[in-house]
C-alpha cells in the first residue's frame, strides 16, 4: 500500500443526485485528523460553501466506526487514532454549472472542490482517485472524460486516476456520460475535446480550428513544462455561456447553435463566440493557472483572497482571447474590430465606470462582481471588459512609444518568465513594475488613471495610431450589442433609461439607470411593463413602439410592481450615443498601416 490518499467516487443514486465519496488516509494525524471541503473554487471568486451539499459523512478505522466531530461549516475532526481512517460521504449534486457538481440520469459531472475533502496538513500527498460506474442501466455506454492522469484506467474509461497533490486533484473536472470526442495534437501535445450529450457537429472542423487556435497560443508564451495534455470539456445546451479554467483542461458551456454543423462554411458570429470562449480558457492555462497573483500561491480555499490584479488575469485574457483569433487567421481584421467595438460598447454603457475603478472591481470581486444586483450597471465596472480595454490601450501605447520595439506581448512574456514558471506568484505591484522597467519610463501616471481612476481611457487616440477610427452611435434596438455600423434607415428607438429584459415571458425593467427617464418616472428594478400610451408594451413590439413617439413627449406608462397595477408618466428622450463601432482608416499612411499589421499579426 502506498501512502497516497485514496479516493473513490461512485454515482450512487442518479434519481436522488447523490455521489458516494470515500477517502482512505493511511497515516492520519494521531491527535485527530481534520478534514475540510473548500468554500470556493479557483476561477470563480465567490464563497459557495460546498460543504452544504454533504448529506451524510462518517469515519471508520479498522472497519469500526469512529467519532467525527464537526468543527465549523466546512471542517470535521476524527477521533485520535494511529490506524488508517476511511471517510465515507454522501454528496448531493444538482448544480449543472462549470463550477459545480451534477448527477442525473443523463450524465455525471463534478469538480473535485465540490466532492473531495482535503486532509489538513497533508495537502501535498499524492492522491489516487478510483472513478466507479453507476449501477443504473441508463448509464450503460457512458464514458469518462478528464485530464487527470490515468493510472490503470483505459482512455475514457472508469478506473484509477492519479494527481500529484490535493490542489491538482481538484483541478481536473470530470465528465461522465454519452460523449462525442475529438482528438488532435498541437506541437506533439495530445489535445482533445469531449462534448456531452446529443450533438451533431462538424467535429473534424472544430478540431482543426482548435488546433490552429492552440498553436497560436503556444507560439505566444511557449508550452509550460508540465503541459503534456489538454482537454476541452464542453456542454452545449439550447442556451448558455461560460467557462472555468484549469491547468490541463477547461469546462465550457455554449449554446448548441454556436457549434458548426457538417457542411457549414465560414465563421458565423455564433461559432466565433465559441472559438472566443475556447481561446479565453486556453490562455488561462498560462494567465491565472500558472502565472497567478501572489495571494493565490497557494490558494486559501476557506476565505476570500483579496487582490487588485483580477484585471490582469481576466482583463488581459479577455483582450487576447479575441486578438488571438485574428492572429491565428481564424477571423479577418474587420471581424476582430467588431468584437473590440462590442467590448467598448459594454464598457461605455456601464455608468458604474464613473463610480468604481478596475482595481476596486478586482478587490471587491467577491461581493460585487460575483453578487451583482439590479444596481450593478450604476455602481460597478467589470474587470473583464474594462480590463480588456486597458490592455488594448496599454498595448498600443507601448507599440507607438517604442516605434514597434515593445508591446504587451513582451510584457506578458516577461511576467511569465518571472512568475509563471515558479511558485512565487505575481506581487500586487509586479505588473506595473514590469511595464515601467521594459518601457524605460515611469508609467505610474497612466496606471493611476487607468486602474485606480474612473475617467475615460485614451483608447480612441491609441486606435488612431494603428489607423482604426472610433465611432459612436445610438442603439438601434433593445438587443443591439454594437460593433457594427447602423444599417438601414429605420429611426432609432427613444430611450427609457432602463435595461429591459424578458423574465418569465414578461418585459421587465431589470435595471433603472441613474438620471434617466425611468428613474425620473419612479420605475423600480423588477417592475413589469404593461402598456405605454394605451397600447401593450411587450418584448416583441418594444423597439417599434419606442420609435413611434416624439422626443420629450409625456406618455402614460402602466406597469406591475408585484401584483399592484401602477401608472406613471414618462418622458422619453433621444438615446445616448453609447454604441461603438470601429472602422479602418483607408487613408492612413504606410507606417500606420504597418503598425496595425504588426499589432494584429505578431506574437
Q: Which residues bind to Zn ion, rule: CB under 5 A?
A: 314
Smallest separation, CB 283 to Zn ion (Å): 8
Q: Which is nearer to Zn ion, 95 or 314 (CB)?
A: 314
Closer of 45 and 599 to Zn ion (Cβ)? 45
As measured in angstroms, the least distance from the Cβ of 168 to Zn ion is: 20
The SS3 assignment for 65 reads strand
d(CA 179, CA 177): 6
Cβ nearer to Zn ion, comparing 98 with 144? 98
The helix-helix angle for 269-283 and 333-348 (nearest 10°) equals 80
User: Least distance from C-beta 284 to Zn ion, angstroms?
Assistant: 6
**Helix 316-327, helix 385-401: angle, nearest 10:** 60
DSSP string, 407-447: -HHHHHHHHIIIIISSSS-B-TTHHHHHHHHHHTS--HHHH
Q: What CA–CA distance (Å, rounded) separates 346 from 55? A: 42
Residue 330 C-beta: closest distance to Zn ion, Å? 19
Closer residue to Zn ion, CB minimum distance, 34 or 288: 288
Nearest distance from C-beta of residue 423 to Zn ion, angstroms: 22
**CA–CA separation, 392 and 315 (whole Å):** 10
Tell me if 508 sits within 8 A of 529, measured CB to CB. yes
Cα separation, 166 vs 37, in Å, equals: 11
- The CB-of-344 to Zn ion minimum distance in angstroms stands at 19
Looking at the Cβ atoms of 131 and 408, the one nearer to Zn ion is 408
The grid coordinates listed for 177 are 456520460
CB 322 → Zn ion: shortest distance, Å? 13
CA distance 465 to 404: 11
Minimum separation from the CB atom of position 44 to Zn ion (A) = 10
The backbone torsions φ and ψ at residue 94, rounded to the nearest 5 degrees and listed phi first, read -140, 40
Find the shortest distance in angstroms from Cβ 142 to Zn ion: 29
Taking the least distance from each CB to Zn ion, the nearer of 24 and 382 is: 382
- Beta-bridge partners for 254: 241
Nearer to Zn ion, 318 or 511 (CB): 318
Q: Compare residues 242 and 404 and give the one whose CB is closer to Zn ion.
A: 242
Looking at beta carbons, which residue is closest to Zn ion? 314
Q: Which residues, listed in sequence order, are joined to residue 571 by a DSSP beta bridge?
A: 554
Q: Which of 279, 289, 137, 302 is nearest to 220 (CA)?
A: 279
Classify strands 34-36 and 118-119 as parallel, antiparallel or unpaired.
antiparallel
Minimum distance of Zn ion from residue 492's CB (angstroms): 33
Looking at beta carbons only, is 202 or 314 nearer to Zn ion? Answer: 314
Cell of 183: 482528438
H or E element that contains 506: strand 506-512
| Nearest alpha-carbon partner for 210 in 278, 293, 131 | 278
- Which helix (H) or strand (E) covers residue 272, if one does? helix 269-283
> In terms of CB distance, is 202 or 321 closer to Zn ion?
321
Residue 187's contacts (CB-CB under 8 Å, 6 or more residues apart) are 215, 218, 223
Residue 227, number of CB atoms within 10 A of its CB: 18
In the complex, minimum distance from the CB of residue 280 to Zn ion, in angstroms, rounded to a whole number:
5
C-alpha grid cell for residue 368? 460585487
526, 532, 534, 535 alpha-carbon torsion, rounded to 10°? -90
Residues 6+ apart with CB under 8 A from 251: 98, 111, 173, 175, 233, 235, 243, 244
CB of 202 to Zn ion, least distance (A): 26
Kindly give, in sequence order, each residue whose CB lies less than 8 Å from that of residue 255, ignoring residues fewer than 6 positions away: 236, 237, 238, 239, 240, 241, 270, 273
For Zn ion, give the closer residue by CB, 109 or 383.
Answer: 383
Q: Smallest gap, in angstroms, from Cβ of residue 317 to Zn ion?
A: 5
Nearest CB to Zn ion, comparing residues 41 and 129: 41
Cα distance between residue 218 and residue 209, in whole Å: 14
| All three cell numbers of 146 | 478528464
Nearer to Zn ion (CB atom), residue 202 or residue 281 = 281
CA distance 57 to 71: 13
Amino acid at each position: 500500500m502506498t501512502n497516497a490518499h485514496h479516493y473513490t467516487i461512485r454515482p450512487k443514486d442518479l434519481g436522488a443526485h447523490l455521489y458516494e465519496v470515500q477517502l482512505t488516509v493511511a497515516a492520519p494525524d494521531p491527535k485527530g485528523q481534520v478534514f475540510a471541503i473548500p468554500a470556493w473554487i479557483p476561477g470563480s471568486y465567490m464563497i459557495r460553501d460546498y460543504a452544504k451539499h454533504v448529506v451524510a459523512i462518517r469515519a471508520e478505522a479498522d472497519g469500526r466506526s469512529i467519532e467525527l466531530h464537526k468543527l465549523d461549516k466546512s471542517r470535521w475532526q476524527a477521533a485520535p487514532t494511529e490506524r488508517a481512517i476511511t471517510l465515507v460521504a454522501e454528496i448531493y449534486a444538482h448544480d449543472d454549472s462549470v463550477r459545480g457538481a451534477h448527477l442525473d440520469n443523463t450524465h455525471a459531472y463534478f469538480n473535485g472542490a465540490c466532492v473531495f475533502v482535503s486532509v489538513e496538513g497533508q495537502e501535498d500527498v499524492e492522491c489516487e482517485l478510483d472513478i466507479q460506474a453507476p449501477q443504473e442501466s441508463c448509464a450503460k455506454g457512458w464514458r469518462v472524460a478528464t485530464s487527470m492522469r490515468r493510472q490503470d484506467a483505459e482512455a475514457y474509461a472508469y478506473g484509477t486516476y492519479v494527481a500529484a497533490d490535493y490542489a491538482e486533484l481538484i483541478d481536473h473536472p470530470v465528465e461522465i456520460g454519452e460523449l462525442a470526442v475529438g482528438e488532435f495534437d498541437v506541437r506533439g501535445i495530445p489535445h482533445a475535446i469531449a462534448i456531452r450529450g446529443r450533438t451533431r457537429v462538424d467535429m473534424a472542423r472544430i478540431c482543426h480550428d482548435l488546433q490552429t487556435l492552440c498553436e497560436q497560443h503556444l507560439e505566444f508564451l511557449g508550452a509550460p513544462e508540465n503541459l503534456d495534455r489538454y482537454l476541452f470539456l464542453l456542454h452545449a445546451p439550447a442556451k448558455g455561456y461560460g467557462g472555468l479554467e484549469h491547468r490541463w483542461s477547461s469546462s465550457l458551456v455554449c449554446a448548441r447553435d454556436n457549434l458548426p454543423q457538417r457542411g457549414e462554411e465560414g465563421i458565423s458570429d455564433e461559432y466565433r463566440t465559441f472559438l472566443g470562449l475556447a481561446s479565453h480558457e486556453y490562455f488561462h492555462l498560462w494567465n491565472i493557472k500558472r502565472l497567478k497573483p501572489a495571494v493565490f500561491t497557494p490558494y486559501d480555499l476557506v476565505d476570500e483572497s483579496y487582490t487588485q490584479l483580477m484585471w490582469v488575469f481576466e482583463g488581459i485574457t479577455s483582450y487576447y482571447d479575441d486578438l488571438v483569433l485574428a492572429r491565428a487567421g481564424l477571423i479577418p481584421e474587420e471581424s476582430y474590430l467588431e468584437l473590440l467595438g462590442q467590448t467598448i460598447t459594454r464598457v461605455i454603457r456601464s455608468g458604474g465606470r464613473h463610480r468604481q475603478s478596475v482595481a476596486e472591481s478586482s478587490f471587491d470581486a467577491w461581493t460585487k462582481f460575483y453578487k451583482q444586483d439590479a444596481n450593478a450597471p450604476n455602481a460597478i465596472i467589470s474587470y473583464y471588459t474594462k480590463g480588456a480595454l486597458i490592455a488594448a490601450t496599454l498595448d498600443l501605447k507601448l507599440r507607438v512609444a517604442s516605434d514597434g520595439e515593445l508591446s504587451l506581448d513582451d510584457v506578458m512574456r516577461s511576467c511569465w518568465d518571472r512568475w509563471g514558471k515558479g511558485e512565487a506568484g505575481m506581487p500586487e505591484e509586479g505588473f506595473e513594475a514590469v511595464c515601467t522597467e521594459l518601457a524605460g519610463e515611469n508609467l505610474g501616471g497612466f496606471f493611476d488613471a487607468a486602474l485606480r481612476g474612473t475617467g475615460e481611457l485614451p483608447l480612441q487616440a491609441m486606435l488612431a495610431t494603428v489607423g482604426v477610427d472610433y465611432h459612436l452611435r445610438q442603439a438601434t434596438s433593445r438587443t443591439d450589442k454594437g460593433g457594427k455600423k447602423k444599417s438601414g434607415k429605420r429611426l432609432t428607438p427613444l430611450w427609457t433609461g432602463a435595461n429591459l429584459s424578458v423574465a418569465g415571458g414578461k418585459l421587465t425593467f431589470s435595471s433603472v439607470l441613474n438620471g434617466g427617464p425611468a428613474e425620473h418616472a419612479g420605475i423600480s428594478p423588477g417592475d413589469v411593463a404593461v402598456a405605454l400610451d394605451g397600447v401593450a408594451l411587450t418584448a416583441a413590439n418594444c423597439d417599434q413602439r419606442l420609435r413611434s413617439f416624439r422626443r420629450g413627449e409625456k406618455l402614460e406608462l402602466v406597469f406591475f410592481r408585484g401584483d399592484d397595477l401602477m401608472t406613471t408618466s414618462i418622458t422619453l428622450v433621444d438615446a445616448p450615443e453609447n454604441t461603438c463601432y470601429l472602422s479602418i482608416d483607408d487613408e492612413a499612411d504606410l507606417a500606420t498601416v504597418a503598425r496595425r499589421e504588426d499589432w494584429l499579426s505578431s506574437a
